[in-house]
Amino acid sequence: MPVPRIRHALPEVRWPTEEEAARSLWFSPIRLGRTLVAEQRTWVPAMVPWRATEEGFVTPGVLDWYGRFARGRPGVLVVEATGIRDIPSGPLLRVGHDRFLPGLRDLVERVRRESGGRTRLLLQIIDFLAIRRRPEPAKFFRRFLAVDGNLRRRFSEAAGEPRWKDAPEADVREALFAALRDLQERTLAPREIESLDFGHRERVTDTHLPHVRDLPRVLPGLFADAADRARRAGFDGAELHFAHAYTMASFLSPLNTREDGYGGPRENRVRLPLEVLAAVRGRVGSEYCVGIRYLGDEVIAEGFRVEDAAWYGVQFAKQGADYLSISKGGKFEDARQPEIGEAAYPYTGESGRECMPTVHSDERGPFGRNVPLAAAVRRAVREAGLETPVVTSGGIHSFEQAEGILRRGEADAVAAARQSLADPDWFLKVRLGRGAEVRRCVFTNYCEGLDQKHRQVTCKLWDRAFDRADPSVALASDGRRRLVAPEWKNRPRAANP
Ligand SMILES: Cc1cc2nc3c(=O)[nH]c(=O)nc-3n(C[C@H](O)[C@H](O)[C@H](O)COP(=O)(O)O)c2cc1C
Ligand code: SF4
pLDDT band at 470 (very low <50, low <70, confident <90, very high): confident
Structural domains of the chain, count: 2
Question: For residue 416, how far is its CA from the centre of ligand 2 (angstroms)?
Answer: 12
Identify whether residues 21 and 113 lie together within a single domain.
yes
3-state class of 420 per DSSP?
A: helix
Identify whether residues 124 and 217 lie together within a single domain.
yes
Closest CA to 368 of 334, 421, 323, 404: 404
Q: Pick 435 or 471 by higher pLDDT.
A: 435
Half-sphere exposure of 238 (CA within 13 A, CB side): 33
The DSSP code sequence of 103-150 is HHHHHHHHHHHHTTT-SEEEEEEE----BPPPPPHHHIIIIIS---HH
The pLDDT of residue 487 is above 80: yes
Catalytic residue, candidates 66, 246, 323, 345: 246
Which phi and psi angles does 38 have, rounded to 5°? -95, 145
- The residue type of 384 is A
Helical ranges in 325-413 per DSSP H: 350-355, 371-383, 399-407
Identify whether residues 105 and 149 lie together within a single domain.
no
User: Which positions ≥6 away from 6 have C-beta within 8 Å?
Assistant: 360, 361, 362, 363, 365
Ligand 2, atom 7: nearest CA belongs to which residue?
A: 441
Q: What are the pLDDT digits (tens) for 222-273?
A: 999 999 999 999 999 999 999 999 999 999 999 999 999 999 999 999 999 9
Percentage with pLDDT > 90 across the chain: 92
The pLDDT of residue 1 is above 70: no
Ligand 1, atom 9: nearest CA belongs to which residue?
A: 46
Identify whether residues 271 and 396 lie together within a single domain.
yes
In 10 A of CB 444, how many CB atoms? Answer: 14
C-beta 123 within 6 A of ligand 1: no
Pocket-forming residues, ligand 2, beta carbon under 6 Å: 418, 421-422, 441-447, 459-461
Helical ranges in 285-325 per DSSP H: 306-318
Identify whether residues 185 and 271 lie together within a single domain.
no
215-233 helix and 271-284 helix, angle to the nearest 10 degrees: 30
What letter does residue 290 receive in the DSSP assignment?
E
Tell me the best of 447, 463, 483 to mutate to test the pocket of ligand 2, counting ligand atoms within 8 Å of each CB and taking the most: 447
Whats the size of the chain, residue-wise? 497
Q: Contact 374/296 with Cβ under 8 angstroms?
A: yes
How far lies 38's CA from each of 6, 77, 331, in Å? 38, 10, 31
The DSSP code sequence of 256-267 is ---SSSSSSSHH
In 10 A of CB 348, how many CB atoms? Answer: 18
pLDDT band at 319 (very low <50, low <70, confident <90, very high): very high
Of 150, 180, 198, which residue sits at a domain end?
Answer: 198
What integer best gives the mean pLDDT of the chain? 95
pLDDT of residue 51: 96
pLDDT of residue 466: 73
pLDDT of residue 32: 98
The pLDDT of residue 368 is above 60: yes
Distance from C-alpha of 494 to C-alpha of 55, rounded to nearest angstrom: 39
Helical ranges in 319-388 per DSSP H: 350-355, 371-383
pLDDT of residue 494: 77
371-383 helix and 306-318 helix, angle to the nearest 10 degrees: 50
Q: In DSSP terms, which residues pair with 201 in a beta bridge?
A: 131
pLDDT of residue 4: 65
Identify whether residues 282 and 361 lie together within a single domain.
yes
C-beta 78 within 6 A of ligand 1: no
In 10 A of CB 285, how many CB atoms? Answer: 11
pLDDT of residue 444: 96
Q: Residue 281 domain-assigned?
A: yes
Which of these ranges, 173-177, 282-286, 340-344, has the smallest mean pLDDT?
340-344
Q: Residue 300 domain-assigned?
A: yes
Residues of 390-406 as b/e, b for ≥16 C-beta within 10 angstroms?
A: bbbbbbbbbbbbbbbbb
Q: Contact 44/77 with Cβ under 8 angstroms?
A: yes
Question: For residue 255, how far is its CA from the centre of ligand 2 (angstroms)?
Answer: 33
pLDDT mean over 178-199: 95
In 10 A of CB 474, how many CB atoms? Answer: 12
CATH assignment of the domain containing 98: 3.20.20.70
Q: Contact 30/389 with Cβ under 8 angstroms?
A: yes
Closest CA to 102 of 232, 228, 222: 232
The pLDDT of residue 2 is above 70: no
In 10 A of CB 372, how many CB atoms? Answer: 15
Question: For residue 416, how far is its CA from the centre of ligand 1 (angstroms)?
Answer: 9
Q: What are the pLDDT digits (tens) for 198-211?
A: 999 999 999 999 99
Identify whether residues 408 and 353 lie together within a single domain.
yes
pLDDT mean over 393-401: 97
pLDDT band at 58 (very low <50, low <70, confident <90, very high): very high
Q: Residue 143 domain-assigned?
A: yes
pLDDT of residue 88: 86
pLDDT mean over 89-118: 96
Identify whether residues 180 and 311 lie together within a single domain.
no
Identify whether residues 299 and 191 lie together within a single domain.
no
Identify whether residues 163 and 55 lie together within a single domain.
no
Q: Residue 1 domain-assigned?
A: no
Q: Pick 307 or 470 by higher pLDDT.
A: 307
Closest CA to 344 of 203, 476, 488, 185: 203
pLDDT band at 5 (very low <50, low <70, confident <90, very high): confident
pLDDT mean over 154-167: 96
pLDDT mean over 410-415: 98
Distance from C-alpha of 307 to C-alpha of 323, rounded to nearest angstrom: 19
The pLDDT of residue 324 is above 60: yes
Identify whether residues 51 and 93 lie together within a single domain.
yes
Structural domain boundaries enclosing 352: 6-129+207-495
Closest CA to 448 of 462, 463, 464, 460: 460
Q: Residue 377 domain-assigned?
A: yes
pLDDT mean over 134-143: 95
Closest CA to 40 of 477, 399, 438: 399
pLDDT band at 3 (very low <50, low <70, confident <90, very high): low
Closest CA to 484 of 30, 60, 41, 25: 60
- The residue type of 301 is A
Of 152, 167, 198, which residue sits at a domain end?
Answer: 198
Ligand 2, atom 1: nearest CA belongs to which residue?
A: 459
What letter does residue 264 receive in the DSSP assignment?
S
pLDDT of residue 292: 98
Identify whether residues 155 and 247 lie together within a single domain.
no
pLDDT band at 140 (very low <50, low <70, confident <90, very high): very high
Atom of ligand 2 nearest to the CA of 442: 7
Predicted model pTM: 0.96
pLDDT band at 90 (very low <50, low <70, confident <90, very high): confident
Q: In DSSP terms, which residues pair with 132 in a beta bridge?
A: none
Q: Is 246 annotated in the active site?
A: yes
Question: For residue 44, how far is its CA from the centre of ligand 1 (angstroms)?
Answer: 9
